[in-house]
Amino acid sequence: MPQMTNRPASAAEMRELDRRAIEEFGIPGVVLMENAGRAVAEEALKMLACAPEAAGISIVCGRGNNGGDGFVAARHLQNAGCSVTLYLVQPESDVRGDARVPFGTVRRMKGIRICTLQPGLAPGGWAQALACSSLIVDALFGTGLSRPVAPPLDRVIEWMNESGRPILAVDIPSGLHADTGAILGCCVRASRTVSFVLPKCGLLTGRGPEMSGQLMVADIGMPADLLEGFRC
């Protein structure tokens, strides 16, 4: 269940927590990803103003772990009766790491539509589709982003922001620096952000509060022993 906590974490601290959970406690990364994606789906269902079967959900996914959380969320939302479309900003072959596991699952699910950003794509296509969504899930960039968002992904963020639809950010709004709260060229303006394990420092400082909307923190099964140093 989402819950707030008093102690924020930097991107480096979260990488270390993830590493230790996997290497010292034997929790596979795909298990943490599954728990995170399920938390996103639960939060998305809470945000819907309509019944799930009447909802069209657009999930904008990158190729890494943040996108992997989006792939997991897609499965749970489709199972809940939503109409789900995945918008991939890189070719399917670029999906990497643990994210390949849930992506392989959603590719086999007949009810989930997958659209890939193509070179020279006219902006009207994705922009109009996003504007017709009941909800947009931002699973584009996570805490690893440290440089300005480059074209054409800056346009994808603009399309999300210009859609007029509620946006749920996965862990941190795409384009927000996880430590400083600075905007890296452009940034998703989320209605709500579900962050994992601990709130990221950037969500609470700089432009973070403005861009993240309502902040929720979800427990994804990280061992309590790892979190002792973060308890106030």
10-62 pLDDT, tens digit per residue, is: 999 999 999 999 999 999 999 999 999 999 999 999 999 888 888 899 999 99
Instruction: Please check whether the domain covering 11-22+29-115+125-221 is classified as CATH 3.40.50.10260.
Output: yes
User: Quick one: average pLDDT of 150-156?
Assistant: 91
| End-to-end CA gap in the chain | 20
pTM: 0.94
Residue 6 confidence (pLDDT): 59
Q: Is the dihedral of CA 64, 16, 167, 2 positive or negative?
A: positive
Q: Are 72 and 61 in contact (CB under 8 A)?
A: no
Residue 53 confidence (pLDDT): 85
Question: Tens of pLDDT along 159-187?
Answer: 999 999 999 999 999 999 999 999 999 99
Contacts of 140 by beta carbon, 8 Å cutoff, 6+ apart:
60, 61, 62, 66, 67, 89, 153, 156, 157, 174, 188
Question: Tens of pLDDT along 52-81?
Answer: 888 899 999 999 999 999 999 999 999 999
Question: Tens of pLDDT along 92-110?
Answer: 999 999 999 999 999 999 9
Structural domain boundaries of the chain?
A: 11-22+29-115+125-221
Residue 121 confidence (pLDDT): 52
